Structure 1
Amino acid sequence: MKEKKKEIKIYLSFEPAYQVIYWSLIWLTLFIGLIIWLEYTRFNWISLVMGGVALLMILPSFKTYLSVKDESLLFFYGGRAVKKVPFASIQKIGYSTGRKINVYGKNNSMIYYFYLNQKNKKKLLQYVNHSYPKIEQLDLEDVRKLDNSN
């Protein structure tokens, strides 16, 4: 009988430049609402609306994750499934000292790339190493060689 693989859920990060812009917009919206609230001595709807907009902007970040389910990597952005990569099509996973993870298929072609923080990157690589030992894990030097050859 085939052993069922454990399902995991790992929160994804945005590309670093997008992540800075995203969180800057959230903080800007929140502080504009706070400044408007502090300027007026009575209740006003503008600060309440700005706080609500900031909360609505935060919600998609909680629904951006990577799920390992049914022998596949499922990528969810804002709660919507965007990409499904079956483990059968993955030959190599490359990682760098930063946040980027590259997924390679046959003929060393890049299937997908995504970003994880260090803790989640370690969690994913340990899971892949334990559950799918045939998938080769590449370090920074190997990833650079592959990217230059393509």
Structure 2
Amino acid sequence: MSSARSAYTGADWYSGQKLEVDQDNLFSTLDEKVHTKRRAIMAPGFTGREIDGLEEAVDKHMIEYIDLVRRKYISQGSELRPMDLARKMAFFTMDVMTDISFGPCWGCLIKDEDVDKWFESNEMLLPTAIMASTIHG
């Protein structure tokens, strides 16, 4: 459905993804020509070719991830140290994104925490946002 040249178009549900009531964005527009044009404009930003230091940033944060696992989450004998892999991968992703976007990363992996409660805020907001987008007028 989201693939290039797909015959399927977005359902009315996507209209609920607007950030501003009277303004469509890439995720909310139902006009396929507008959507295709916006995707073409944004596509170069997702290739990774124009991001200086991308591989180095990924490598650096992968090492931080491995260090975190070794430091806090390797079980020994009868001592189990469970780890929420999904949360740690979210920390990894956020650290890479903030590193390449803003320079210094947030440091979620080094601190092993939800810096500035970003994930917690999204977990509280998203159910309401999803419900609102589902029952939009």
Same fold, judged at TM 0.5 (above): no
| Greater fraction of residues in helix | 2
TM category, shorter: under 0.3
Q: TM-score normalized by structure 1?
A: 0.26
| Greater fraction of residues in strand | 1
Q: TM-score normalized by structure 2?
A: 0.28
